[in-house]
Amino acid sequence: MENFLDEREKQRRMANRRRLKKRAEKLRKIKIYTCMGAVGVIGIALIAWCVTGNNSDDEKKAGGNNTVMVGADATLNSYNEVENTEKDTEKDTEETTEKQYGYGDEVYSDGKFVVCIDPGHGGNDVGCEGIDGSYESDDDLALALLVKQHLEEADVKVIMTRSVDEWVDLADRPYIANKSNADLLVSIHRNSNEEGAVNGVEAWISGKENDNSYEIAKLIMNNLDRVGISRNRGVRSGSMTSEDKDYVVNGKSCMPSVLLEMGFMSSPTDNRLFKQNLEGYAKAIAEAVLQWSETQPY
């Protein structure tokens, strides 16, 4: 690990650790305050019950419930605040600098083609929230596991950055792909738009001039288009922030890398298509990878 991390990356990883520590601390405080609040509310309720006797009327019950609800909402908002901070890290980008090279000593692929699949988010970081109350982190994982299954059936070696609902540091995701000497990295996400009128699927690749991810991204998009998507938003380079800033998975990986945005969770059409075509999307992505692998020397 130490050998291939440059100074800048080390500092970034340390900053990430500090951020996670802060987040854990904040969550712990929220929990303590919530417990204290709950104890306080129960205490007041008990005193009120003792003073007024046991024959409380409906009005009092409603008042009591309201007090508890305020506490619960306050907690929810605090958690949302934490989650929103997490969501921001998903859009974290890197200046387009040199990709990192080296390593590849952890996975013995037996000559197989190696693909690293990265389901976005996980754990406390749920990603986008769907209008139907679903979480992006669950959708990302569901599709990623199906892609894995199809690729393994075709004798491809698959490395997952996560296989369950758990948090994985953003910087660790390209690191896992690099360390595994993967031939390709596919990161799976879903999108969201506050106005709700936007829909479609898009693929993001690095904006670096020497990046060679376009072909695989294009193949995936063509295959998904055939299965059925509301709109093909194409292959885009850089990130939403800027063409010069890559998403971390694309910018920090040293192999062709594609970040897929599998439709908008704010769009009922995209949500319906995602559910309906989940299996078809997985096959489409896996088949594009297999088709592309035949053109690659590995």
Shortest spacing between CB 102 and Zn ion, in angstroms: 28
Closer by beta carbon to Zn ion, 120 or else 251: 120
- 256 interacts with Zn ion by CB under 5 A: no
What is the total residue count of the chain?
Answer: 298
# residues contacting Zn ion (CB under 5 A): 4
Tell which residue, 189, 177, 162, 187, has the closest CA to residue 253.
Answer: 177
Shortest spacing between CB 213 and Zn ion, in angstroms: 18
Among the listed ranges 73-81, 100-108, 162-170, 188-196, the one in contact with Zn ion (CB under 5 A) is 188-196
- 120 interacts with Zn ion by CB under 5 A: yes
Closer by beta carbon to Zn ion, 132 or else 155: 132
Helix axes 136-153, 278-293, angle to 10 degrees: 50
Which residue's C-beta sits nearest to Zn ion? 189
- 189 interacts with Zn ion by CB under 5 A: yes
For residue 171, what is the DSSP state?
A: T
Q: What is the DSSP string of 2-41?
A: TTT--HHHHHHHHHHHHHHHHHHHHHHHHHHHHHHHHHHH
- 119 interacts with Zn ion by CB under 5 A: no
- 130 interacts with Zn ion by CB under 5 A: no
Q: Which residues pair with 159 in a beta bridge?
A: 116
- 127 interacts with Zn ion by CB under 5 A: yes
CA–CA dist 55, 9 (Å, integer): 65
Shortest spacing between CB 152 and Zn ion, in angstroms: 24
For residue 237, what is the DSSP state?
A: E
CB neighbour class for 187 (10 Å; exposed up to 12, middle 13-18, buried from 19): buried
Site for Zn ion in 54-93 (CB under 5 A): 90
Instruction: Give me the phi and psi of 121, to 5 degrees please.
Output: 60, -150
Shortest spacing between CB 200 and Zn ion, in angstroms: 15
Shortest spacing between CB 259 and Zn ion, in angstroms: 9
Closer by beta carbon to Zn ion, 60 or else 236: 236
Among the listed ranges 20-28, 119-127, 202-210, 240-248, the one in contact with Zn ion (CB under 5 A) is 119-127
Q: Are 165 and 136 in contact (CB under 8 A)?
A: no
CA–CA dist 93, 99 (Å, integer): 14
Closer by beta carbon to Zn ion, 140 or else 183: 140
Contact set with Zn ion (CB under 5 A): 90, 120, 127, 189
